[in-house]
Copies of this chain bind each other. A is one copy, B any other.
Amino acid sequence: HASRVKQTARCKTLLVLTIDTINPTVKKVEYAVRGPIVQRAVELERELSQGMKKPFAEVIKANIGDAHAMGQQPITFFRQDAKSRACRILQSCGGHSMGAYSASQGIDSVREDVARYIERRDGGVPCDPDDIYLTTGASDGIVTMLKLLVCGEGASRTGVMISIPQYPLYSAALAELGAVQINYYLNEEKCWSLDIPELQRALDEARQYCNPRALCIINPGNPTGQVQSRKCIEDVIQFAAKERLFLMADEVYQDNVYADGCQFHSFKKVLFEMGPEYSDTVELASFHSTSKCYMGECGFRGGYMELINMDDEVKAQLTKLVSVRLCPPVPGQALMDLVVNPPQPGEPSYDNFIKERTATLSALAEKAKLTEQVLNTVQGISCNPVQGAMYSFPRITIPEKAVKEATEKGQQPDMFYCMKMLEETGICLVPGSGFGQKDGTYHFRMTILPPSDKLKILLDKVKEFHQKFTQQYS
């Protein structure tokens, strides 16, 4: 390998593709959830397995919303009990094989099942299977929708409003597409709520240098764990209608709601309840996934998007665009079908399915509470309630001296903090700077996914580390 590195250095000026001649939009892409912290965590695991001495026995990864990786058992129905449904899905596959390409928009019968699921979820608001596109995880749907929206140059370049903090898929996709990212800040003091005046401020400022065309909402929120009220969703829809913005509702955590008094309201349902003035005019794309909720089936890359009020010609373009990649993975489509078509009362798997789903969601609810409680006992950490999703995003006080040392190293202070925590405790969190935060504030994102006993240890270690760190740099 050493010789190859030398070789590369020697020939660098002869290479076609170097860091100086790479697509510049690629260089601008950032994605903290799998960034340097995680790379170091993987190295540490290797070092531990090679017998190197560390101040900890194992690396605990609380950096990514991946339930199975954190030991959550797959729901039995999705793995063993779904034979009869599998047959029905295979009937709809080319050659009755999962190995055949499907229609590019997704298997018809799966899209029909998705439509019926949405109708049940939204109390009967009608859903047309033609408006459903199956995707390779929600990520794929989100990037594809953004791609459709981007056009113009200079001051008429497409701008897209995203929350700060955000899930960094959004900023990464906008960077790659060369679109303008318009930040609106969630209100940390009011439990990460979304305030309309702040949307208006962000939009008005952005109109001076770009053409804002879309507004992205994540509800329940990643990384901030808030659940939007019905009223707030109504206000957002009104705002989008007034300002002529395409709404993108990322609802992958729709079953992950824990806090008393909180409830999931889909943008689609609220839109239709607001009457035809809105439901006939506001363009909405909403996204769902097999990766989250009680399923946590990330590896299958299943997902769908529903498109409301999308222009027919645009839909034709979309269908053409997705056909270039042939189709979403068929096993992921099949899994999506199981998710939207779970066992019904009287079916053999029903009782066990309900038991497992309930157990999974109540364990998450408990861990959400535990996380908030323990973190709030630490001086210098303050944590909003984890109302939903799978994350807490506590604010941390980083002493001046530590900020200075980080800055000298060319690191974000919270990256410095998290890297130190990883090296000393084996705990892998993601610095708040990867998601965006108000200048001068620092956070980290922590999943609530580790099993309860491990989560307790983790929280204690975080507490201990924070106290030591604060002392060291005071």
A residues apposed to B, CB below 8 Å: 1, 5, 7-8, 11-12, 14-19, 21-24, 26-27, 29-31, 33-35, 42, 64, 66-72, 74, 78, 93-95, 97-104, 128, 136-137, 139-140, 143, 147-151, 168-169, 172-173, 176, 213-214, 244-246, 280-281, 283, 291, 295-301, 309-314, 317, 320-321, 323-332
Identify 16 new A-B residue pairs, CB closer than 8 A, beyond the known A68-B93, A101-B298.
Answer: A7-B280, A8-B309, A11-B280, A11-B281, A16-B245, A17-B283, A23-B148, A34-B320, A67-B99, A68-B95, A74-B97, A136-B329, A140-B325, A329-B329, A329-B332, A331-B331
Q: How far is the CA of A298 from the CA of B102 in the complex (A)?
A: 9
Instruction: Please state if A313 and B19 are interface contacts (CB–CB under 8 Å).
Output: yes
**Smallest CB–CB gap between A229 and chain B, Å?**
25
Instruction: Please state if B15 and A311 are interface contacts (CB–CB under 8 Å).
Output: yes
Pairs across A and B, CB under 8 Å, 27 listed: A12-B311, A14-B244, A15-B283, A16-B149, A16-B214, A16-B244, A17-B283, A17-B311, A22-B314, A23-B150, A29-B324, A30-B320, A34-B323, A34-B326, A35-B323, A66-B94, A66-B95, A66-B101, A68-B93, A94-B299, A99-B297, A99-B298, A139-B325, A143-B325, A147-B176, A300-B329, A301-B329
Closest to A20 in B: B313
Copy tally for this chain in the complex stands at: 2
**Smallest CB–CB gap between A53 and chain B, Å?**
24
Known contacts: A97-B299, A329-B332. The answer to whether A324 contacts B31 by CB under 8 A is yes
**Smallest CB–CB gap between A196 and chain B, Å?**
19
Residues of B within 8 A of A103 (CB): 42
Q: How far is the CA of A368 from the CA of B157 in the complex (A)?
A: 51
The 10 closest A-B pairs by CB, nearest first: A69-B94, A299-B330, A68-B97, A34-B323, A19-B313, A99-B297, A69-B100, A329-B329, A68-B100, A68-B95
**Smallest CB–CB gap between A89 and chain B, Å?**
11
Instruction: Please state if B299 and A102 are interface contacts (CB–CB under 8 Å).
Output: yes
Residues of B within 8 A of A35 (CB): 320, 323
Residues of B within 8 A of A33 (CB): 323
Residues of B within 8 A of A299 (CB): 93-94, 97-102, 327, 329-331
Instruction: Please state if A17 and B310 are interface contacts (CB–CB under 8 Å).
Output: yes
Residues of B within 8 A of A298 (CB): 99-101, 326-327
Q: How far is the CA of A148 from the CA of B465 in the complex (A)?
A: 41
Q: How far is the CA of A100 from the CA of B325 in the complex (A)?
A: 23
**Smallest CB–CB gap between A34 and chain B, Å?**
4
Residues of B within 8 A of A326 (CB): 34, 137, 139, 298, 301
**Smallest CB–CB gap between A109 and chain B, Å?**
14
**Smallest CB–CB gap between A300 and chain B, Å?**
6
**Smallest CB–CB gap between A248 and chain B, Å?**
11
Instruction: Please state if A71 and B98 are interface contacts (CB–CB under 8 Å).
Output: no
Q: How far is the CA of A311 from the CA of B11 in the complex (A)?
A: 10
Residues of B within 8 A of A169 (CB): 324
Instruction: Please state if B329 and A283 are interface contacts (CB–CB under 8 Å).
Output: no
Pick from B300, B311, B324: contact of A8, CB under 8 Å: B311
Residues of B within 8 A of A173 (CB): 324
Instruction: Please state if B311 and A18 are interface contacts (CB–CB under 8 Å).
Output: yes
